[in-house]
Amino acid sequence: MKRKYLSAALLAAALCLSALTACADNQPYTKSAFTFDTFITLTIYESESADSPEEICEGAVDMLTSLDEELSRTNPDSVIYALNKEGYNAPVEVSNTTYQLIKSCKDLSELTDGAFDFTLGEISSLWGFGKDNGKKPDDTALAELAGRKNYDNLTFDDESRTIGFTEEGFSVDLGAAAKGYALDMLDSYLRKAGVTSAVVDFGGSILTIGKKGEYSWNISVTADESDSPVGTLAVNDGFIATSNGAKRFVEYDGVKYHHIIDPFTAYPADSGIKSCTVYAANGLISDALSTAFFVMGQEKAEQFYEKYKIAEYIITLDDGTVKTSDGIAADFRATKNG
Ligand code: AMP
Ligand code: MG
């Protein structure tokens, strides 16, 4: 099958150039914005809506901006901030969106046996990813927070839509799941608006709607910050998330510590996986599982895959070997080296 290649980096560059103008008929329309602390680029190829692609994209970015305000744990006006601050004293009422998200996150934490643990906020705060804390966290403090599976200490009340904490000393960090969930919201938003063909690059997480004309989307899969992908994945309709240590880290005494934590050690995961990309029919699942597989390591990720079959993976090991799950092998074309 003839394939057209789409590199996330090239896409972003090309899209930035055209971001200010609505394109002529039959040309894709692109909008770039900054939300969830990252760049997003939406490209609409086909739409059956009476609204212009420009209007649809504007509405989409507004929707994402409000969601970001709601889910950020650093924004003092956000519901997650309130939950982290007050959840132990009294259950906190949250929006339906947040309620469903936190419940799904708890399910995914249980399903992955805590490899994805969205209640490790105290650990990520100690490490200080994204800011300079100046000092490596104390081993004893980390040991106290390790392996606590705090998601077991959440209470839910469906009627009052409140969430509470039964223990003190933990907080919610949606960093491994919020972008995926936002892409789920975006997918519904765009489809409801009449969009039938689109691709979104959300800081490296990808949403595809429909096909690119008669072709599948060919998405570059990268394992680090270099421009050379490990391969391309041909997909229609779906979500792709990638977790690796290259994107975010802190440096203490000349040593780099990346941002994906093994909740059982409270240290950056060191499972033998350099990068993990997950493709799923759901954005939250693709995001949470890319993080979870990175923590689990290839063997456990494969067992999880065989057991649940809810997502496909492309795993690059520390030695550069690339492993793909069975369901995606035929759609993945590895980059030829040399
Ligand atoms: P991602 O890039 O999707 O793998 O998410 C990583 C971000 O999620 C980090 O920056 C932390 O805020 C948070 N995080 C780190 N480790 C985990 C984990 N094991 N489970 C859930 N969230 C995590
Ligand atoms: Mg993730």
- For residue 130, the ligand 1 atom closest to its alpha carbon is 10
* Atom of ligand 1 at shortest range from CA of 263: 19
Out of 72, 129, 173, 278, mutate this one to test ligand 1's pocket (max ligand atoms within 8 Å of CB): namely: 173
The answer to whether residue 9 scores a pLDDT higher than 70 is no
Beta strand pairing call for 261-262 and 249-252? unpaired
Instruction: Look up residue 139 and give its two tokens.
Output: 């081993």
Contact 80, 72 (CB under 8 A): yes
Residue-level pLDDT at 131? 73
75-129: pLDDT as tens digits: 999 999 999 999 999 999 999 999 999 999 999 999 999 999 999 999 999 999 8
Identify the pLDDT of residue 55.
97
22 C-alpha to ligand 1 centroid (Å): 36
Averaged pLDDT score across all residues of the chain = 91
Find the 56 Cα to ligand 2 centroid distance in Å: 27
Predicted local distance difference test score (pLDDT) of residue 246: 87
How far is ligand 2, taken at its centre, from the CA of residue 291, in Å? 4
Contact yes or no for 248/258 (Cβ under 8 A): yes
Q: How many CB atoms lie within 10 A of CB 68?
A: 19
Mean pLDDT of 229-255: 93
Query: Residue 181 C-alpha to ligand 2 middle, in angstroms?
Result: 10
Residues 94, 102: contact at Cβ < 8 Å?
yes
Helix residue spans in 162-241 (DSSP H) = 178-192
Show Cβ contacts of residue 163 under 8 Å, excluding neighbours closer than 6 positions.
Answer: 83, 87, 91, 92, 94, 99, 102, 154, 155, 156, 157
* Helices (H), ranges, 87-177: 96-111, 121-127, 139-145
What atom of ligand 1 comes closest to residue 129's alpha carbon? 10
Atom 15 of ligand 1, residue of closest alpha carbon = 260
**Ligand 2 midpoint to CA 38 (Å):** 14
Pocket test for ligand 1, best of 225, 259, 287 (most atoms within 8 A of CB): 259
**pTM (two decimals):** 0.91
The predicted-structure confidence for 177-230, as pLDDT tens digits, reads as follows 999 999 999 999 999 999 999 999 999 999 999 999 999 999 999 998 887 899
pLDDT digits (tens, 9 = 90+) for 24-77: 456 999 999 999 999 999 999 999 999 999 999 999 999 999 999 999 999 999
User: Pick from 331, 262, 329, 265: which is nearest to 300 by CA?
Assistant: 262
- Ligand 1 atom with the shortest distance to the CA of 116: 20
Split at pLDDT 50, 70, 90, the class of 16 is very low
- pLDDT band with cut points at 50, 70 and 90 for residue 305: very high
Closest residue to atom 6 of ligand 1, CA basis: 176
Compute the distance from residue 129 Cα to the ligand 1 centre, in Å.
10
Nearest ligand to the CA atom of 175: 1
Q: pLDDT-based confidence at 297, cuts 50/70/90?
A: very high
Ligand 1 atom closest to the CA of 243, numbered from 1: 4
Q: Can you tell me which atom of ligand 1 is nearest the CA of 179?
A: 3
**What is the distance in A from the centroid of ligand 1 to the CA of 215?**
33
Q: Give pLDDT, residue 132.
A: 66
Residue 169 clears pLDDT 60, i.e. is over it: yes
Closest-approaching ligand to the CA atom of 244? 1
Write out residues with Cβ below 6 Å of ligand 1.
116-118, 120, 124, 129, 173, 175-176, 243, 248, 259-261, 263, 287, 290-291, 295
The alpha carbon of 55 and the centre of ligand 2 are apart by a number of angstroms equal to: 30
CA of 176 to the centre of ligand 2 (A): 4
Q: State the helix-helix crossing angle for 79-86 and 53-71, rounded to 10 degrees.
A: 10
